[in-house]
Every structure is written in structure tokens, then in C-alpha cells.
Amino acid sequence: MINQPLRVVVVDDQASVRDGLVALLSTLPSLDVVGNAGDGEMAVSVVARELPDAVLMDLRMPGVDGVEATRRLTTSHPQVAVVVLTTFVDDESVLAALEAGARGFLTKNATRADIARALEAAVANQVTIDGEIQRHILSAVQRMNQPHEIELWPDGLTKREGEILSLIASGLTNPEIASRLFIGGATVKTHINRIFSKIGVADRDGAIDYVHRLRAEPHTVGDRSLRSRPGSR
């Protein structure tokens, strides 16, 4: 009996990347690219129409992202295996995709052979996780098992922003924070800009003062009077 090639749908919001992946995977006799999509909403529609064996899914997309698309697909088409292929790797996205039902995780440094193996493993109900992504999962699990000094951050700060704010208060530089959290330097800068905006400070000294006052006066958490005190800006 001759094995039929795996029927695959490629999902990526960047047309050039998507076309490149389609062209690359189409050279492999073990794969048959039967469709592609530029966002999660379209991916769900294409999968419903083509009923492929597997989907190669980007994470960062406008509208319905890769995590939500994976969640919808594993609910409506549980027989379709989803393998994530992403440029940006962070702990929250990796864990979210895993919880959504993805069966494989690769970075875009993966070769066509790596991608083919991951797709084939996913269809066989096996999970393939890139080494770099494994480190992110381990890091996330370790942090989940560690007590947090401040359980609920005020001023709309997310858990990740609170984590970065704590590291700033501990004296870590941007590159050190990036290394500690396994994220890119640009991602750290983006988080810090959002943090400063939310807590109303202009620099790291103001951020450090903000954290010190939260630790010293936990009853003021969420009290906007924090911003009116000396040193808060």
C-alpha cells in the first residue's frame, strides 16, 4: 500500500512568508499543501473546506491569532493536527498554544525536514517541541511554582509586566531581563514603555520607587495616590 502525502494547510499573516512556506513544503513528496490562510479566521474556514491532516500555524496574527485559531480547530476538527511555527517566542504564547491543543512547536529557523517531521509526528498524535521552546516551557513552569511577592499588580499591569517591573527594581538591565525571561530585547522595551505609561513614571528610578512603595505599603495597592507622592514621576 502506497502512503498518501499528508494534506497540509499553511497559515501566516505575512504573504511573503506564507508563499515561501507553501513553495518550500510543496517540494516534499510526503506533503501536499492543499490551502493557505492569512489569519486565524480564514484558517478555520479553509480547514472546514479542505479537511487537511495538519495545519502549520503562525501565532502572531491580527484579528483571530494562532492560539485562538488552534483552540477553534481542536474543538471543531479534533482530527486535524496543529503545529505552531513562529518567530516570536514567549512563555505565555507557548503555554497558551499548548493548552489550546497544538501538537508541535517550531521556530522559523526550522528546516523543511524539521517541519515535515513535526507535521508527521503531530498527525501520529506525537508532540514535537523545538529546543528553544522547551526552555521557555521549563522557565514558565518554574515561575508558576514560585511564590510571587506581589500577587495582584495595580494600575492595570499584567502578570508579565509586573514580573518585568520586579526585575527592574532588582537592578537588571534590559539585556539581562531579556535573557532571564527568554524574550527579545525589543519585546522588553515594548513592555517597559507600557509599564511606564500605566504607572505614570518617566524612567527606571520612578519605576523602582513605585515598586518599593508597593512593597512597603501593601494597603495602597491600586490607590492612585501613589502617583501623587514625591518620586512617583
Domain end residue (candidates: 139, 169, 195): 139
- Cα separation, 221 vs 180, in Å, equals 26
Per the listing, cell 526552555 goes with 135
Kindly report, residue by residue over 115-124, the tens digit of the pLDDT. 999 999 999 9
pTM (two decimals) = 0.61
Is the distance from CB of 109 to CB of 118 less than 8 angstroms?
no
Domain enclosing residue 215, as ranges? 159-228
Verify that 10 and 114 share a domain, yes or no: yes
| In-domain check, residue 203 | yes
**Facing residues of 105 across strands?**
84, 129
Q: Is residue 208 part of a domain?
A: yes
Whether residue 117 sits in one domain with residue 88: yes
Q: Kindly report, residue by residue over 119-168, the tens digit of the pLDDT.
A: 999 999 998 888 777 776 666 565 555 444 566 788 899 989 999 998 99
Share of the chain above pLDDT 70, in %: 82
Same domain, 122 and 209: no
Residues near 61 by beta carbon (within 8 Å), at least 6 away in sequence: 11, 12, 13, 38, 39, 40, 69
Q: How many domains does the chain have?
A: 2
The verdict on 170 and 206 lying in the same domain is: yes
Q: How far apart are CA 40 and CA 42, in angstroms?
A: 5
